Amino acid sequence: MTLTADLSGQVALVTGASRGIGEAVARLLAANGAKVACVARDAAKLAGAVEAIRQAGGEAEAFSCDVNDRESVEKVVDGIVEKWEKLDILVNNAGVTRDTLMPRMTDDEWDTVINTNLRGAFLFARAASRYMMRQRYGRIINMSSVSGLVGNPGQTNYSASKAGLIGMTRSLARELAGRNVTINAVAPGFIVTDMTRGIAAAAMDEAKKRIPAKRLGEPDDVAAAVLFLASRAAGYITGHTITVDGGMTA
């Protein structure tokens, strides 16, 4: 990865940081000087991600949290600010899928995805923005998906949650621009993660045919876009969604 940004002295919070895209984002932010609060529910995997950052010379701490729970979210955000005295970057990456066609989709499958992917991002953005507004600086990056732009059969709940993140991004960007707080979204396409490894091989082969780049993306491809949006260089960009999909939605 050749993209770099000076994040020294900054504090970042990354949800869903125990694996996949979240882990790649946390690792890259730390490699560029940020102190990174890694948030996830799986304490064991989270500890491994944090240790990897430390072994590479970065600074990171693990925070276990249920992103659906308001009290838990606010406790984590308050704890991070108490520890490091500020919060500059929030990456709302935590997400789940419960794929099935809508006629068979249960209330629980709908609620689980909406609550984790959309409500969780709202709770963290609300808690973090209070500190960012006070310090008159901040970067919030919401992890959407191309499914939130074009939809996907069997993912009505997931697509709705990711489209909701784009709407939240646009509205919050207008609210906080005057406080030097930017809010943007990143919409990955097919990225090689634990989530996509569960997709049938035939379906993945078909997906590759729809990608002009003729390959699946890597977590580091997404992390690079996040790093740019988290940097001071992106200070005049807010309310936008950057697709990282190899040209699939071009």
- Say how many Å lie between the first and final Cα of the chain, rounded: 24
The answer to whether residues 247 and 221 touch, using CB atoms and an 8 Å cutoff, is: no
Is 131 an active-site residue? no
Q: Rounded distance, CA 225 to CA 166, Å?
A: 16
Q: Rounded distance, CA 145 to CA 162, Å?
A: 6
**Spacing of C-alpha 68 from chain mean position:** 15
Phi, psi angle pair for 219, to nearest 5°: -55, -35
Q: What angle do CA 16, 22, 28 make, to 5 degrees?
A: 145
Helices (H), the chain: 20-31, 43-55, 70-84, 107-114, 120-135, 147-150, 156-176, 194-197, 201-209, 219-230
Nearest-10 Cα torsion for 69, 124, 5, 231:
170
Catalytic residue (one of 131, 137, 158, 236): 158
Q: Residue 182: in which H helix or E strand, if any? A: strand 181-188
Q: How many CB atoms lie within 10 A of CB 14?
A: 34
Q: Which residues are catalytic?
A: 158
